[in-house]
Amino acid sequence: MLLIVGLGNPGAKYEKNRHNIGFMAVDRIAEDHAFAPWRGKFQGSVAEGLLGGGKVLLLKPETFMNRSGQSVNEAMRFYKLAPSDVTVIHDELDLAPGKVRCKTGGGHAGHNGLRSIHQAIGPEYHRVRLGIGHPGHKDAVSGYVLKDFAKAEADWLDDVLRGISDGAADLARGDTGAFQNKVALRTRPQRPGPEKRAETPQAGGTPAPKAEEPAPDDRSPMQKLVDRFR
């Protein structure tokens, strides 16, 4: 079994906060991939389903962000999972809005949810980092992450969530390259190349002009010879 954890804070007050993009991501996965209804367990909400041919448990810790590790640890102990069976989806200040990156291990960079998980299970779990941008000064971080996404951010946010859902099966299989490609197709759609000029006209259209043919030479042989030596 794979445990996919989305980080956030519980309650309607925080529902649309930047800090809750992890909750948003697992909600989208559950909806698009026909997971079982959410239910309360492990100090959080869980939903079970299948991704990539394997069983997956989605978890939204409801302990508030700075105690997320308690909920994750309970779920891991119940199912006898190792940190390598856990993927955490969370907001990332150090990535531009709309950027998505995968990582295994490393530090928590001051993220309260990751810090709590580090303390509970260690750092060797997988992560999906969802860029939300930085407010520009560390003193503004708390207010920034606990504010709702702006209306102007709705388009890229929707693209990111759809991309995560598109690649969820690849993520479950551990193919982070394919997962990130699916996200990129949503966030950076391929632009059509320049149209080639049609060689034949469409039905009802005006035919393309043909190259002019040289006029026939109706001079007599003697005149051609005279003109040649002029």
Residue with tokens 């992890």: 22
Residues with catalytic function: 19
Assign 3-class secondary structure to 129-141. EEECCCCCCHHHH
Calpha distance 147→144 (Å, rounded): 5
Let me know: does 170 contact 178? Beta carbons within 8 Å.
yes
What are the tokens at 216? 């026939």
Helices 68-79 and 112-121: angle between axes, nearest 10 degrees: 40
| Sign of the Cα pseudo-torsion (103, 108, 109, 111, in order) | positive
